[in-house]
Amino acid sequence: MDDALKQAFYSRMQEEPFARKFGLKLCDIGAGYSKVEMTFTPDMENMWGCAHGGALFALIDQSFEVAANSHGTLAVALNMSVTFVAPPRPGSVLSSEAKETYQTRKTASYDIKVRDGSGALIASCQALVYRKGTPLPFLKNNPEEPRR
């Protein structure tokens, strides 16, 4: 994976409002791969004091988004199937690793695992994207880059 593309992802994710809201941090990226971290904080709890599924899904979705788009072309989610295995402990640093398992010209599938700092499995996900084949809008060489 090209270094300029990697840096574009790191920069873009630091600017993304949703990622900042949840404290999502891009730790690693490669072709068809990403690792994203998040600290499970009290404002992410559900009414029973456990991690809200939406917070865990946000972490999963972010690693999926980065891995699926890491080839430099736009890919959008078609399907995600999440299994919540165990609740994380408050304050846990959670990591989500998305790995591409299969790719065609138009689709790709991903295996995504969320683990806590001790390596315990928190959630797993199987996901599928549709590959649009158009350049990512935030790449500098893309004439359709949105203006700020």
CATH number of the domain bearing residue 106: 3.10.129.10
Read off the pLDDT of each residue in 83-97 and give the average, rounded to a whole number.
96
Mean pLDDT taken over the chain: 93
Q: Which domain holds residue 24?
A: 3-135
Which pLDDT score is estimated for 32?
98
As given in the structure block, the two tokens for residue 77 are: 């989610």
Kindly state whether residue 144 falls inside one of the protein's structural domains.
no
Which pLDDT score is estimated for 6?
95
User: pTM to 2 decimals?
Assistant: 0.92
Which pLDDT score is estimated for 139?
84
Which pLDDT score is estimated for 142?
52
Torsion angle in degrees (nearest 10) through CA of 78, 29, 32, 101: -90
Q: Which residue has the higher pLDDT, 28 or 145?
A: 28
The widest CA-to-CA distance across the chain, in whole angstroms, is 48
Kindly state whether residue 142 falls inside one of the protein's structural domains.
no
| Residue 41 pLDDT exceeds 60 | yes
